[in-house]
Amino acid sequence: MTAPFYVSPEQLMKDRADFARKGIARGRSVVVVPYADGICFVAENPSQALHKVSEIYDRIAFAAVGRYNEFENLRIAGVRLADLRGYSYDRRDVTGRALANAYAQTLGTIFSSGGEKPYEVEIFVAEVGDAPGDDQVYRLTYDGSVADEQRFAVMGGAAERPVAWLSEHYREGLTRGEAVRLAVQALAHNDETPREIPAQDVEAAVLDRTRGQQRKFLRLSDEAVAASLAEG
């Protein structure tokens, strides 16, 4: 009788992490940039139907990179959880932190389970507050880890160069147009040679605290993105 094949738990977790990271690295990056009136999300995404940035609830947005069908399942689960909690209790009880915790539990359970492959995704959950100091941006990785991002953030693809570029050029109090332009320029610096990204290949959305309605999420049109890029 042959002995069963043995893999140490440490090696198993390392292999699963390497697998997830390689899948995420193949996708295009998403940039989150706070500005004076809210939070801006920008991704390089030629598709007009398969969105990387979406609304979850009144003040909460979701952005993701990686395998589309996996992060779309997470987005739908988040919308259902938010709707159920808002309906059962109060709309103010739906918070970005609660959603981030729920996503962390789901991703952590899937990653540590030996019965299925880990999700090849990274996600942002962001909630806009009444003032810039109340804004919250949470970054969740494939293993369920959660980070509270304080300034700009980049995930997916070759994120090191955009992060380095933003570190040099980001400042507080940006306008919405400046935030969009800065994020697109950061995405264009993901290689040694900067390139030009046309407006129609940019997916951009904001959580705008100044909107006079409960829903603060606004998806920007190609024309609005082009106008922001032209300002520079």
One-letter amino acid at 208 equals D
Q: What is the pLDDT of residue 138?
A: 97
Indicate the range of 23-32, 94-103, 177-186, 212-221 predicted with least confidence.
23-32
Hey, how many other C-beta atoms are within 10 angstroms of the C-beta on 129? 16
Residue with the larger pLDDT of the pair 11 and 175: 175
* Angstrom distance (rounded) from CA 17 to CA 10: 11
Six-digit token pair at 80?
Answer: 């259902």
In the chain, where the domains are located: 26-231
Question: φ and ψ at 219, to 5 degrees?
Answer: -90, 130
The verdict on pTM exceeding 0.75 is yes
Q: What is the pLDDT of residue 170?
A: 94
Six-digit token pair at 174?
Answer: 């940006």
* Angstrom distance (rounded) from CA 114 to CA 92: 37
State the pLDDT confidence band at 11, using cuts at 50, 70 and 90: confident
Q: What is the DSSP letter of 149?
A: E
* Angstrom distance (rounded) from CA 218 to CA 231: 20
Contact 41, 182 (CB under 8 A): no
pLDDT value at 125 more than 90: yes
Q: What is the pLDDT of residue 215?
A: 94
Fold classified for 26-231: Glutamine Phosphoribosylpyrophosphate, subunit 1, domain 1 (3.60.20)
pLDDT value at 1 more than 70: no
Choose from 16-20, 23-27, 127-131, 158-162 the range with maximum mean pLDDT. 127-131
**The Cα angle at residue 48 between residues 42 and 51, in degrees rounded to 5:** 50
